[in-house]
Chains A and B, each alone.
Chain A
Amino acid sequence: MRIHQYEKLWIVGSMILIVGFIVTITYGSVGLGITMIGDEEETIAPDELNDDEQFGEPRVEQVGENEYAAYVVAQTFIFQPDPIEIPANNEITFYVTSRDVIHGFYVPGTNINAMAIPGQVAELTVEFDEPGEHGLICHEYCGSGHHTMEGLIVVQPEDEFDLTELSAETPDTVTSGEQVQLNATVENGQLEPLETTVNAEIGDQTFQQDLTVDGKSTQNVTFTAESTQLGVGEHDWTVTVDDYEETGSVEVVSNETAAAEGGEES
């Protein structure tokens, strides 16, 4: 069989094209590590999400150095958590599932695009290089409020990101003469210990205490003020740790008032 020279040319040319396509895709998956969203995750009962260890409390969690896991639940017509706060330049693995019907999980303008299917967990690992805010939308029709279903991904600078949580409380009322105790709880969700300073203010008294919270643990701090120094009346208190602030107020009642109230109650 004789093949014309031109024909040989374009047969070879098409072979080179095909090889070129295969080479670029191999480069993408092996060299750059691009992958598709797999189905290797376990299935999950959608009506038992609340009892699930991971999806019961949708959250972002540190799972290793520079590695975070984000558990996201989609439901009509919201994403939880909202906003999803993650650090830049870290590997974030999203685990996405749905509580009710099929939803979408799409960050427009990027390749983050998955379906949230009840019973299934979509796992996708991404890394955001730049801090900023990204919208998150549902792109699978899910019901009458589908067009309003959106979330927010907040990518924070790596050095500003933390998983610190602060809560604080005092009794509502304290009888004059007793101590006013302000309990503050600092939770550190990261693996690294958190070294910080707790600043507190009760009325016009200020307190300060250095605190080291180990990774994945909580620490309690108690500040005590004398109610006689505060005087009778309502006093505001504030606790700050880094950028977190909790406020409230405590009422100091005089002995007579307390006794009168106690008398009324009995």
Chain B
Amino acid sequence: MGSRVSREIGHDEYDPWGTLSLIVIYFVALTLMWLFTYFIEFIGNTPTVMGMIVPVMLG
């Protein structure tokens, strides 16, 4: 059968830029979705229940 060619690379030579770009896209999507959910869907749906935070924390 064919000869197996292999090459050993060092720790810093390993360069998974595809994985990195996927994770960047994922983080950007997470940030945008969070901003939309919190600031537009939640806070934008006024009126919102207001009050002091203290009783909630004590309760």
Give residues in A with beta carbon < 8 Å to B.
2, 4-6, 9-10, 13-14, 17, 20-21, 24-25, 28-30, 32-40, 91, 107, 109-112, 124-129
Contacts and interface: CB of A to CB of B under 8 A. Distances in A.
A98 B12 CA distance: 66
B49 to A, nearest CB: 5
Interface of B: 11-12, 14, 16, 19-20, 23-24, 27, 30-31, 34, 38-39, 42-43, 45-53, 55-56, 58-59
B48 A126 contact: yes
B13 to A, nearest CB: 11
Contacts of A124: 49, 51
B45 A28 contact: no
B20 A9 contact: yes
A34 B50 contact: yes
A111 B46 contact: yes
Given A17-B27, A17-B31, A38 B55 contact: yes
A35 B52 contact: yes
Contact of A36 (B12, B16, B49): B49
Which 4 pairs from chain A and chain B are nearest by CB? A126-B47, A35-B51, A111-B48, A38-B59
B20 A10 contact: yes
A4 B48 contact: no
B11 A129 contact: no
Given A6-B16, A35-B49, 18 more contacts: A6-B19, A24-B34, A24-B38, A28-B38, A28-B42, A33-B50, A33-B52, A35-B52, A35-B56, A38-B55, A40-B55, A40-B58, A91-B50, A111-B48, A126-B49, A127-B47, A128-B47, A129-B47
Contacts, number: 88
B51 A125 contact: yes
Contacts of A10: 20, 23, 27
Contacts of B56: 35-36, 38
Given A6-B20, A36-B56, A129 B34 contact: no
Contacts of A36: 49, 56
13 contacts: A10-B27, A13-B23, A20-B31, A29-B53, A33-B50, A33-B51, A35-B49, A35-B53, A35-B56, A38-B56, A110-B46, A111-B42, A111-B48
B50 A110 contact: no
Nearest to B52: A35
B11 A4 contact: yes
Nearest to A37: B49
A154 B27 CA distance: 43
Nearest to B42: A111
A222 B43 CA distance: 52
Contacts of B30: 17
B50 to A, nearest CB: 5
B6 to A, nearest CB: 21
A91 B51 CA distance: 10
B31 to A, nearest CB: 7
Contacts of A38: 51, 55-56, 59
